[in-house]
Amino acid sequence: MSTFKAPKGTYDLLPPGSATYLAVREAIAAPLRRSGYGYVETPGFESVELFARGVGESTDIVTKEMYTLTTKGGDELALRPEGTASVLRAALEANLHRAGNLPVKLWYSGSYYRYERPQKGRYRHFSQVGAEAVGTEDPTLDAELIVLACDAYRSLGLTGFRLLLNSLGDRTCRPVYRAALQDFLRGLDLDEDTRARIDINPLRVLDDKRESVQRQLAGAPMMRDHLCAECKAFHEEVRALLTEAGVPFEDDPRLVRGLDYYTRTTFEFVHDGLGAQSAIGGGGRYDGLSEMIGGPALPSVGWALGVDRTVLALEAEGVELELAPATELFAVPLGDEARRALFRLVTELRREGVAADLAYGGKGMKNAMKSADRSGARFALLLGDRDLAEGVAQLKDLASGEQQALPLDRVVAEVRAELR
């Protein structure tokens, strides 16, 4: 046993369970790749200022949860707590928005870090797949991304998730709502830290999960009652497009999510089987974020879906994914010459797309066959000195026990035919 353990609030992904995480990532990415989204990968750390400006200095993410460090050169860096600000920074730095083909559609996958109190479904290191459509103000994009997320969940077999939808308005109508909300909140019995948020970002108070706060918010003014005509029309179009696509949703006028950059469309996917940590993904439109981090006006929309949370949702529903076998054929050599011959065959099988493995370390027949059974392979390919002399190998069906001799030059073709 190692002297060291994974840091508190983190986890290791190991076989065979890691195969489920890979399958979830692939299922989320698949509809994005079919819809014109290209892959982007950004560093695991960025300038602290990028997140302070983009995510918001008043958010818990920036004030309490970021892992920060100072380099030997004096730069202040942070492990990325979310993906959108990094992806937008990368797109701006590479001038992707100047290519004349807007929107720029990007998807990404990776690990993110927040210093939180560890609990099931809430870790200090977590995995997400995200998507961003940069540079176009069009409700069709908002609806497209929501539909793609729903399709990804459905492709995994999830049925118990719900979509919550809201609009947070824009720079025209939100100031009026902000003032009305501030007046309301100043009349409540709130602690000092929460009262400080009233002046910085009062919408964050609506996101407070404490029951003592939520009780007092019963009569709070709603953004939907303050939307300007443009924002109202934009939101109604998103709702109509979702309905047309057969995506059910629930209007949630208090949905603000935890980031400051959202405008207009805001949405969240929740799964009631996960208890308090019910959110499995979400996102929204962030039309002003580019300007916040020093770029031009680039209206954009995106989402991030939690891989960890999605796996927990699958477990809550009892869904078992149909995973491709890690090993389809397990080769068992008996003798050095047989080992060399089987190594050549296994290599050729792998090149032909067959998942094949080999008994290593000179194991005897009994131990090698135990390894074959544990591998989950459908077939074992046995080769000994007598077989080699006769130019054949023994192909054994590990489920039925049936065994047949195959000419060595026909093994690859026959195995492929049997498996496909």
- Chain CA centroid to CA 387, Å: 49
Question: Does 262 appear as a known binding residue?
Answer: yes
Question: Does 261 appear as a known binding residue?
Answer: yes
Question: Does 128 appear as a known binding residue?
Answer: yes
Question: Does 273 appear as a known binding residue?
Answer: no
Question: Does 360 appear as a known binding residue?
Answer: no
Question: Does 237 appear as a known binding residue?
Answer: no
Residues that constitute the known binding site: 82-84, 114, 128, 132, 257, 261-262
Residues that constitute the known binding site for L-histidine: 82-84, 114, 128, 132, 257, 261-262
